[in-house]
Amino acid sequence: MATILIAGANRGIGLELARQYAAEGHDVIRCMRGTDKAGEEIGETRPLDVTDDASAAALAKALAGRPIDLVIANAGVIGPEKQSATEMDFPGFLAVLDTNVLGPLRVVQALLPNLRAAGQARVAVVSSQMGSFRSTQPNFVAYRASKAAVNKVFQCLAGDLKEEGIAVAALHPGWVRTDMGGPGADLAVETSAAGIRKVLDDLDLGRTGRFYAYDGTELEW
């Protein structure tokens, strides 16, 4: 059984991933900054605000010496109301970048000793196809830019970690019925999480540094 840490696991996709991994018997560490919406005991919980260096350092300190087989950087925000290329809420744009781009890297860097200690560890960021350069719709500019940026960051991370035997992937969870995706979205959260687990089960050094949808399709950046 693996030790799996999920950032942003108090609700939405992160919580469902935690629920499914825990049901399989894995040792799950659910990280969150806010209120736990689980309504039941699932794994262990740890405080983490992905925008806060001190919070990431405190998490790393609390987990020091403990091998972690899989880190899923799932925490993310959609960003400000006003985020078109002609009318931008600039502080809001910066905040999205901090959460969606720096946040995942902050978490993974803090936990590198734990990943290295595991041997053949894996890392994933929950990104979005909205960050793909193939997707040309001009809405949600800050969010799209953040997901494009985090894809590049994790592609580079994959290159850096390959020699150490750590595989890295960027994931598109589909359009999912969560607070972010809304009630009209295509997928139940259970379906998305089950698909993501399968993609991550198959993730190895031969598949590292790529962008996958929840159904296993490899996506263009």
Q: Which stretch binds ligand NAP (CB under 6 A): 4-12, 87-95, 159-167, 211-219?
A: 4-12
Interacting positions 133-192 with ligand NAP (CB under 6 A): 173, 175-176, 178-181, 185
DSSP secondary structure code for residue 206 in this structure: G
- Residue from 3, 4, 5, 14 binding ligand NAP (CB under 6 A): 14
CB of 108 to ligand NAP, least distance (A): 14
CB of 89 to ligand NAP, least distance (A): 17
Question: Which of 63, 70, 60, 64 has its CA nearest to residue 24?
Answer: 70
- Residue from 6, 17, 56, 75 binding ligand NAP (CB under 6 A): 75
DSSP secondary structure code for residue 43 in this structure: S
What residues contact residue 165 under an 8 Å CB cut-off, 6+ apart? 119, 120, 121, 205
What is the per-residue binding string for ligand NAP in 98-137, x denoting contact by CB under 6 A? -x--------------------------x-x---------
Between 26 and 177, name the residue whose CB sits nearer to ligand NAP.
177
Question: Which of 157, 134, 173 has its CA nearest to residue 208?
Answer: 157
User: Is 143 noted as a catalytic residue in this protein?
Assistant: yes
**What amino acid is encoded at 178 in this protein?**
T
CB of 112 to ligand NAP, least distance (A): 19
Between 75 and 166, name the residue whose CB sits nearer to ligand NAP.
75
**What amino acid is encoded at 9 in this protein?**
A
Q: Which stretch binds ligand NAP (CB under 6 A): 48-56, 79-87, 111-119, 133-141?
A: 48-56
Total residue length of the chain: 221
Alpha helices, DSSP H, located in the chain: 12-23, 53-62, 90-97, 103-110, 112-118, 141-161, 189-202
Q: Which token pair is 56? A: 């990431």
CB of 173 to ligand NAP, least distance (A): 5
Cβ(83)–Cβ(77) under 8 Å?
no
Phi, psi angles (nearest 5°) of residue 219: -105, 155
CB of 207 to ligand NAP, least distance (A): 20
Q: Which residues bind ligand NAP (CB under 6 A)?
A: 8, 10-14, 32-34, 48-51, 74-77, 99, 126, 128, 173, 175-176, 178-181, 185
Instruction: Give the residue numbers annotated as catalytic, written as ranges.
Output: 143
